[in-house]
């Protein structure tokens, strides 16, 4: 059997009985909303059914059949809470399931490894005892057969389901139910024995489809349920911790769980969201965007580790939340003659580490800004595809590139004034001292006169042993060694 | 054997095999065989720049001109790279790591090698002071060598003198430039491979 259906019988009523601790042999029924005199019964338990009470019956009639009938008003809050609990329970069993009705869940068992179906059913019923809700499990080769089986008490054959009960359950379209009963058909197996073509001609395609379901010929796909916060986990430390090692230890396990969930749903993590809650009420939230969707817990843990190394905790940590934002996994056809990054996530992590070593704003793809002021540059952030905006050339590249001295070294230069400018003759201080053999210049530069203006005169000079350096003369009378033509 | 005999023997050997005993540093005006600027993946190479203006920046310029799928990583040990000298188009193929200390530069090179995503990493220690160079333990170069071998990335260290023990390839920059090269003449990168010359001399 590939499918199982978990049917929490009369959930709106049974959750109220479980809340109040009512014994199962107490006949009970759920009333419809509105005036009590005109109300009818919307759900009844098995004990009440033994008195011939069924859903749809007027309340007065129900009381007439069983004076001891416990009448309960619907409680949407309790019902919602019970639905959430049942959903969490089913989610803990299998990764793929359909929320067919609030009471019924269809489970895909194909991904489960089990010793035997009987053991799995027994184990599931046993593990659901904490819910205190009546659970019926049906197995089938198709989702609808499993659903029909779950409507039968005591896991009997789905074809033994009474047509009247099927009509009351309102889970399958069953037109002309009264005609079928007039024909003397009691159970689904009676219907299955009729010729399909004649049934379709006389009573329509809906009954023909039910005929197909009964014969296992109708196999539909499950509409898989996906919870919104399915990829979020929380862990509370008791007692609170002072270092990030325990967090990493726990995170490794939790990330594995989250990645497994993503994998079951054919998704990958696009980003990791971390929230740390400290004992002094402070919180630290960080969104770690991954350069490529991943399903590797190690890659996620590495990013987390790198980030945690930079976090300074203001107090002991009591709780942390991890959330993975799902996306479709990347299926890229790599170029045959083009090499790409082997592991974009590891590379992104390496860049974060490098940035941690050299400091912010000291790593990237450089480009020159549109100004004549020397050494005004910008660094573009590195993207996984290394695409940067095409910046036009501002100045022609020099034949012999310069190695800049950052910051420029103030030096003393012997000079003489010729016209408006000081001509350098020899370097008196600094790392390279000596007479200047040849000099090119001056190259006067200025700018930003409308605010804090700047101006300087650049010189290219040649010292002994063919050492080429760049000097800058700044008013008033300051010389700087700005670089070496290396 | 006396000292005189040893000196005599050395002189005879020098006369008989002049190529094998040639000083790796070039004699001014002498033309030397040009070595290609190619670096094997997974290997550590060294480019020595014995004089400060001998064309170390031209090496970066040449490497940036090569068409490659992934950018070149430049670990700048003295934060001396000048993007304006190369132009924006060339700089698009570069990842610049601006380090302020030699220790930082070594750490960054180590990380990039360990990562193994970029095929070529240039560690520029050209303008690093002698005192800082002496502080780099030889074992660290062995570590970088092993990292390069494991990751398959090529590491090229640009140094002012020979400091890398047993590199896969050691090249020496022999360029001499004048002020004319800044504007009028086009400077040509001059690389010399002493090992190949020795081999040629032996052959």
Do both A155 and A238 map to the same domain? no
Kindly report which listed range (A56-60, B98-102, B198-202) carries the lowest average pLDDT score: B198-202
Predicted local distance difference test score (pLDDT) of residue B106: 95
Chain B residues within an 8 Å CB radius of A345: none
Is residue B25 scored above 50 in pLDDT?
Answer: no
> Which of A383-392, B28-37, B53-62 holds the top average pLDDT?
B53-62
Res. B48 pLDDT band, cuts 50 70 90: very high
Give pTM, 2 decimals: 0.60
Beta strands A104-108 and A3-8 are antiparallel
- Whether A378 maps to a domain, the answer reads no
Give how far B70 is from chain A: nearest CA, Å. 7
Q: Where are the beta strands (DSSP E) in A9-77?
A: 28-31, 41-44, 70-72
Contact across the interface for B94 and A366, Cβ inside 8 Å: yes
Do both A137 and A265 map to the same domain? no
Distance CA A166, CA B98 (A): 75
Do both A151 and A31 map to the same domain? yes
- Whether A477 maps to a domain, the answer reads yes
Do both A411 and A308 map to the same domain? no
The partner residue sitting opposite B91, judged by closest CB among A366, A392, A462, is A366
Do both A48 and A157 map to the same domain? yes
SS3 A472: strand
Q: Scan residues 382-411 of A and list those with Cβ closer than 8 Å to B.
A: 382, 386, 388, 390-406
- Whether A240 maps to a domain, the answer reads yes
Chain B residues within an 8 Å CB radius of A404: 79-82
Do both A416 and A320 map to the same domain? no
Contact across the interface for B182 and A382, Cβ inside 8 Å: no
- Whether A342 maps to a domain, the answer reads no
Taking the Cβ of residue A375 and every Cβ of chain B, the question of whether any pair is shorter than 8 Å is answered with: yes
String of DSSP letters for A277-329: EETTS-EEEEEEEEEEEE--HHHHHHHHHHHHTT---SS-EEEEEEEEEEEPP
Do both A9 and A129 map to the same domain? yes
Is residue B30 scored above 80 in pLDDT?
Answer: no
B172 closest CA partner among B77, B55, B72, B92: B55
- Whether A457 maps to a domain, the answer reads yes
Predicted local distance difference test score (pLDDT) of residue A182: 87
Find the residue in B nearest to A486 (Cα): B53
Contact across the interface for B179 and A353, Cβ inside 8 Å: no
Contact across the interface for B80 and A404, Cβ inside 8 Å: yes
Chain A residues within an 8 Å CB radius of B104: 357-358
Do both A21 and A132 map to the same domain? yes
Distance CA A134, CA A129 (A): 9
Per-position pLDDT tens, chain A of length 486: 789 999 998 899 999 998 888 888 899 999 888 777 778 888 888 888 889 888 888 888 888 998 888 988 889 999 999 998 898 888 878 878 899 988 999 998 887 777 788 888 888 899 888 888 989 999 989 999 999 888 887 767 778 888 888 887 778 888 888 888 888 888 888 888 999 898 888 888 888 888 888 888 888 888 888 776 678 888 888 888 988 888 999 899 889 888 888 887 778 898 999 999 999 889 999 998 887 888 889 989 998 998 888 888 889 999 999 999 888 876 655 555 556 777 788 888 889 889 989 998 899 999 888 888 888 888 988 887 777 777 777 777 778 899 999 999 999 999 998 888 889 999 999 899 999 999 998 999 888 888 878 889 999 999 987 899 999 998 778 999 999 998
Is residue B29 scored above 50 in pLDDT?
Answer: no
Predicted local distance difference test score (pLDDT) of residue A301: 92
Chain B residues within an 8 Å CB radius of A462: 178-179
What domains can you pick out in chain B, each with its CATH number? 38-202 (3.40.50.300)
Q: Scan residues 34-93 of A and list those with Cβ closer than 8 Å to B.
A: none
Contact across the interface for A354 and B88, Cβ inside 8 Å: no
Res. B175 pLDDT band, cuts 50 70 90: confident
Q: Scan residues 276-335 of A and list those with Cβ closer than 8 Å to B.
A: none
Res. B27 pLDDT band, cuts 50 70 90: very low
Do both A238 and A115 map to the same domain? no
Domain boundary among A140, A161, A182: A161
Chain A residues within an 8 Å CB radius of B56: 403, 486
Do both A39 and A146 map to the same domain? yes
DSSP bridge pairs for B95? B73
Residue A305's domain is classified under what CATH number? 3.30.1490.100
Q: A-B interface: how many C-beta pairs under 8 angstroms?
A: 180
- Whether A33 maps to a domain, the answer reads yes
Do both A7 and A156 map to the same domain? yes
Q: Measure Cα distances from B16 to B10, B19, B33, B203 in Å.
A: 10, 9, 21, 13
Tokens of A68: 């001891």
Angle, alpha carbons A409-A414-A415 (nearest 5°): 110
Find the residue in A nearest to B118 (Cα): A341
Residue A91's domain is classified under what CATH number? 3.30.70
Do both A11 and A156 map to the same domain? yes
Predicted local distance difference test score (pLDDT) of residue B142: 93
Give how far B114 is from chain A: nearest CA, Å. 9
- Whether A390 maps to a domain, the answer reads no
- Whether A166 maps to a domain, the answer reads no
Taking the Cβ of residue A443 and every Cβ of chain B, the question of whether any pair is shorter than 8 Å is answered with: no
Q: How many domains would you assign to chain A?
A: 3
Q: Which domain holds residue A450?
A: 402-485
Res. B196 pLDDT band, cuts 50 70 90: low
Scanning the structure block, which residue is given the tokens 């009448």?
A71
Is residue B36 scored above 80 in pLDDT?
Answer: no
Is residue B200 scored above 60 in pLDDT?
Answer: no
Please indicate whether residue A485 or residue B26 has the higher confidence score (pLDDT). A485
Domain boundary among A272, A296, A327: A327
CB A272 within 8 A of CB A301: no
Chain centroid to CA A201:
50
Contact across the interface for A404 and B91, Cβ inside 8 Å: no
SS3 A359: coil
Taking the Cβ of residue A33 and every Cβ of chain B, the question of whether any pair is shorter than 8 Å is answered with: no
pLDDT, tens digit, 9 for 90 and up, residues B114-154: 998 899 999 999 999 989 999 999 899 999 999 999 999 99
The partner residue sitting opposite A393, judged by closest CB among B82, B87, B182, is B87
Beta strands B154-159 and B120-124 are parallel
Q: Measure Cα distances from A334 to A154, A184, A341, A373, B78 in Å.
A: 56, 66, 10, 43, 37
Predicted local distance difference test score (pLDDT) of residue B3: 60
Domain boundary among A145, A161, A177: A161
The secondary structure element, H or E, covering residue A61 is helix A59-65
pLDDT, average across residues B38-67: 89
């Amino acid at each position: 059997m590939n499918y199982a259906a978990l049917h929490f019988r009369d959930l709106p009523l049974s959750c109220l009985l479980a809340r109040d601790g009512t014994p199962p042999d107490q006949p009970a029924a759920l009333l419809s909303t509105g005036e009590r005199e005109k109300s009818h019964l919307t759900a009844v338990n098995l004990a009440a059914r033994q008195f011939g009470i069924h859903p749809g019956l007027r309340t007065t009639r129900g009381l007439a059949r069983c004076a001891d009938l416990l009448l309960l008003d619907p409680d949407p809050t309790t019902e919602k809470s019970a639905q959430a609990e049942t959903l969490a329970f089913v989610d803990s069993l299998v990764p793929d399931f359909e929320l067919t009705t609030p009471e019924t869940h269809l489970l895909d068992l194909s991904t489960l490894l089990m010793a035997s179906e009987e053991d799995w059913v027994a184990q599931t019923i046993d593990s659901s005892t904490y819910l205190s809700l009546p659970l019926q499990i049906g197995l089938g080769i198709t989702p609808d057969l499993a659903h029909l089986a779950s409507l039968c008490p005591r896991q009997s054959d789905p074809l033994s389901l009474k047509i009247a009960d099927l009509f009351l359950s309102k889970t399958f379209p069953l037109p002309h139910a009264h005609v079928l009963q007039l024909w003397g058909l009691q159970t689904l197996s009676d219907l299955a024995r009729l010729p399909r073509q004649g049934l379709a001609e006389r009573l329509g395609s809906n009954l023909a489809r039910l005929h197909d379901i009964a014969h296992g010929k109708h196999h539909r796909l499950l509409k898989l349920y996906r919870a919104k916060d399915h990829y979020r986990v929380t862990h509370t430390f008791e007692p609170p911790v002072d270092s990030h090692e325990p967090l990493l230890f726990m995170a490794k396990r939790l990330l594995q769980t989250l990645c497994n969930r993503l994998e079951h749903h054919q998704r990958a993590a696009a980003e990791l969201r971390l929230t740390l809650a400290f004992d002094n009420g402070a919180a630290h939230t960080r969104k770690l965007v991954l350069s490529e969707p991943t399903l590797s817990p190690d890659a996620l843990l590495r990013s987390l580790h790198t980030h945690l190394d930079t976090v300074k905790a203001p107090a002991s940590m009591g709780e942390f939340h991890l959330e993975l934002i799902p996306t479709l996994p990347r299926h890229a056809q790599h170029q045959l003659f083009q090499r790409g990054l082997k592991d974009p996530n590891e590379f992104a992590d390496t860049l974060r580490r490098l940035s941690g070593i050299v400091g912010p704003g000291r790593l990237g793809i450089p480009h020159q800004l549109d100004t004549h002021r020397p050494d005004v540059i910008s660094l573009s952030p590195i993207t996984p595809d290394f695409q940067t905006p095409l910046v036009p050339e501002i100045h022609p590249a020099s034949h012999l590139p310069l190695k800049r001295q950052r910051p420029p070294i103030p030096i003393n230069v012997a000079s003489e004034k010729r016209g408006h400018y000081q001509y350098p003759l020899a370097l008196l201080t600094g790392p390279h001292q000596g007479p200047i053999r040849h000099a090119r210049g001056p190259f006067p530069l200025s700018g930003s006169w409308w605010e804090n203006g700047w101006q300087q005169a650049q010189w290219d000079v040649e010292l002994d042993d063919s050492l080429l350096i760049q000097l800058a003369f700044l008013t008033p009378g300051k010389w700087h060694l700005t670089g070496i033509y290396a | 054997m006396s000292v005189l005999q040893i000196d005599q023997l050395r002189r005879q050997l020098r006369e008989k095999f002049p190529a094998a005993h040639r000083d790796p540093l070039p004699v001014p005006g002498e033309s030397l065989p040009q070595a290609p600027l190619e670096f094997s993946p997974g290997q550590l190479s060294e480019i020595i720049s014995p004089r400060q203006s001998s064309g170390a920046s031209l090496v970066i310029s040449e490497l940036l001109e090569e068409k490659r799928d992934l950018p070149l990583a430049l670990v700048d040990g003295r934060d001396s790279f000048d993007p304006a000298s190369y132009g924006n188009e060339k700089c698009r193929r570069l990842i610049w790591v601006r380090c302020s200390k030699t220790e930082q530069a070594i750490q960054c090179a180590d990380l990039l090698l360990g990562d193994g995503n970029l095929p070529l990493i240039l560690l520029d220690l050209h303008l690093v002071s002698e005192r800082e160079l002496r502080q780099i333990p030889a074992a660290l170069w062995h570590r970088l060598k092993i990292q390069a071998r494991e990751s398959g990335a090529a590491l090229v260290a640009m140094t002012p003198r020979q400091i890398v023990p047993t590199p896969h390839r050691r090249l020496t920059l022999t360029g001499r430039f004048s002020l004319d090269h800044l504007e009028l003449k086009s400077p040509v990168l001059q690389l010399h491979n002493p090992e190949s010359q020795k081999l040629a001399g032996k052959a």
